[in-house]
Every structure is written in structure tokens, then in C-alpha cells.
Homo-oligomer: A and B are copies of this chain.
Amino acid sequence: MEKITSIFSERLLKVNGLILKKMDSSIPLISEIAEYILASGGKRLRPLLALSSARLLNYNGPDKDVCLAAAVELIHTATLLHDDVVDKSNKRRNKKTANEVWGNEPSILVGDFLFSRAFELMVDTNSLEVLKTLSKASCKISEGEMKQLIFQNNINISKTDYINIIKGKTAELFSAACKSGAIISTNDSDEISALETFGKELGISYQLVDDALDYQSENKNFDKSIGDDFKDGKISYPIIISWERSEIEEKNFWKRVIVEQKQTASDLSKAKALINKHQGIKKTYELASLHAEKAINALSIFENSNIKESLIEVANMSLSRLN
């Protein structure tokens, strides 16, 4: 991430400034909560995707790329606020979640506020195509989250359903960020489509790695606490792999901890051991690599450049978090 972050350091400052401006509200508690969650970090990956896609296509207009990058980050932040309520999470990035500090009610309403502010920013791009792309992505995100909720604790989820969930909850926004960055820069539908694919495949790869990291013991550069998904009974790829290769006794373990959600202190370790036994992390890494490769291949229509290289680096960085 260092390369891309340094290339766009000046743009990112503008994005952060715009985000802060958009957090301003006549209700101080709204600004307080919004700043808390936005300050609690993140790598600004989605804004960087929007900025790089625009730069790759030589965007040289006014600050539409900055509006777009800020809008995408606000959609992401609104989603996090609502997710943490839905998942009853109390920690994110080693800080208390907003719902833990202020309760569910303000988190729901501030999420709505940020979502509306994101739409205001999108309108500022003056592009109906951008608005179409991002409003459609927002629908798909809610559908993904909803599907995840429906399949929670359902150990029999198919790989297809699981991939559809992560396509919705993660890959849609990655994809829309890249596509929108392209839309403000060109009319060439092949180039727009290539960046859309890059974002989608990168998003799938990124989420697969995230899901594997939930069962890795080293917690470096990871946004959540280890074992969060496990505690919530969320099924992810490493579990699906382990489940389909398990014998009866092992299946009973998964049923108890995931379906019935009866967990004891040592169960996370046991889950990790079972996942390793059945190569759950390895298989997840392999699938993530496949999607990262697809992402990188989508960029083949573009000439080599500093920006293209840094996008490829992002795809590789996402994977390397697992090493």
C-alpha cells in the first residue's frame, strides 16, 4: 500500500478534508460519532481505488475524483456503522465500536446521515452515470449483508452462496469505486469495464483473505479482532472447506459451535486446528490468488505505467497479508 498511498498523498489529504467538511452538522453528536469512526482509521483503500482508476485514465478535470473518493469512503463508513449494530460488534480496529460507545440508535441514524452525505457528494460529480453506478452498488451491498444475515449459522451454505455474499458486501463497492473513477475520465466502455472487473475481482480476493485472517494467529494489520466471525457464527470459506472435509465427530463440533453457537474458551483454537488440518487457509489463499490474478489480468488492456503497477501492487498486497 505504501506506493499507492505515497502517489496519492496530496489527493488523499483533499479527500480527508472533504470528508471532514461533510461531517459537519448542526447536531454536534453527529459530527462527533462520524469523526470517531472515520478517524479510527482504515487504509482509505476504496478512495485510493477511485483516485487511481481516474489517474490511470488521465483524469485531469477539477476535483470530481476527490468527491467520488470521499463519497465511496462515506458509503463504506455508513455500512460499517450499520454492520456493527447488526452484528452486535463491540470492537473494530482495536477500538470500541460506535454502538458500544453511544448505543445502537445513534449508530443507525448517523449511518443514514453519512449515506445521505455520500449521495450529496456523488451529485457533486455531475455525472448521472456515477450516480447510477453507486446507487446500484448500494442496493447490492444491502442485499449482500442481508444474505449474510440469512445464512448466519447455516453450516450448509454452498460455495456459490458464500461467494455471492462477499461479492455483494465487499466486491460491489470496490468495483463501483473503480468503475466510477473510470466514468469521470473516459467514454471508452472497454476501459470502464476493465476497471470494473479489476475492482470486483480484487474485492472478492480481499474479502477471502480477510476471512482467512480471522483464523490466523498473527494479528498484524488486521482490522478486526481474531475470531470475530467465529464468535458470530459467520460461515466463511475456511469453514466451508473444513466442513465439507470433516468426519462425523468434527462435523458435530462445527454444528455445536456454529449452528447452536455453544462455544467454550478453547473452541477457537480447536476450530483453527481443524481448519489447518483440512487446509482451509491454504484453499482460501488459492482461491484469493485466483481472483487477484483475474483482477491483474483485467488491467492488461492498459499500457504499463506507474499507476498500473501500483494497482497490481494493491492486489498482491491484499494476498500478502496472509503470509
- Residues on A facing B (Cβ under 8 Å): 25-27, 29-30, 79, 82, 85-86, 104-106, 108-113, 115-117, 119-120, 122-123, 126, 128, 131-132, 135-136, 138-139, 141-143, 145-147, 149-150
CB pair B113 A85 closer than 8 Å: no
Can you tell how many copies of this chain the complex includes?
Answer: 2
Residues of B within 8 A of A113 (CB): 139, 142-143, 146
Residues of B within 8 A of A150 (CB): 27, 29
Q: How far is the CA of A25 from the CA of B146 in the complex (A)?
A: 11
Nearest first, the 6 A-B pairs at minimum CB distance are A116-B138, A113-B142, A119-B135, A116-B139, A112-B142, A86-B105
Q: How far is the CA of A104 from the CA of B105 in the complex (A)?
A: 11
Residues of B within 8 A of A82 (CB): 108-109, 112
Residues of B within 8 A of A147 (CB): 27
Q: How far is the CA of A258 from the CA of B82 in the complex (A)?
A: 29
CB pair A110 B149 closer than 8 Å: no
CB pair B30 A143 closer than 8 Å: yes
Q: 22 pairs across A/B with beta carbons < 8 Å?
A: A27-B150, A29-B146, A30-B143, A82-B109, A85-B105, A109-B145, A109-B149, A110-B142, A112-B115, A112-B145, A113-B139, A113-B143, A113-B146, A115-B115, A116-B139, A116-B141, A119-B119, A119-B138, A120-B135, A120-B136, A123-B128, A123-B135
Q: How far is the CA of A142 from the CA of B113 in the complex (A)?
A: 5
Residues of B within 8 A of A79 (CB): 112
Q: How far is the CA of A234 from the CA of B112 in the complex (A)?
A: 21
Q: How far is the CA of A30 from the CA of B138 in the complex (A)?
A: 14
For A26, A27, A85, A106, which residue has the most chain B Cβ atoms within 10 angstroms? A27
CB pair A109 B142 closer than 8 Å: yes
Q: How far is the CA of A106 from the CA of B112 in the complex (A)?
A: 15
Q: How far is the CA of A141 from the CA of B116 in the complex (A)?
A: 9
CB pair A27 B126 closer than 8 Å: no
Residues of B within 8 A of A145 (CB): 109, 112
CB pair B123 A142 closer than 8 Å: no
Min CB gap A141→B, angstroms: 8
Residues of B within 8 A of A110 (CB): 142, 146
CB pair B27 A143 closer than 8 Å: yes
Q: Which of B27, B132, B135 contacts A146 (CB 8 A)?
A: B27
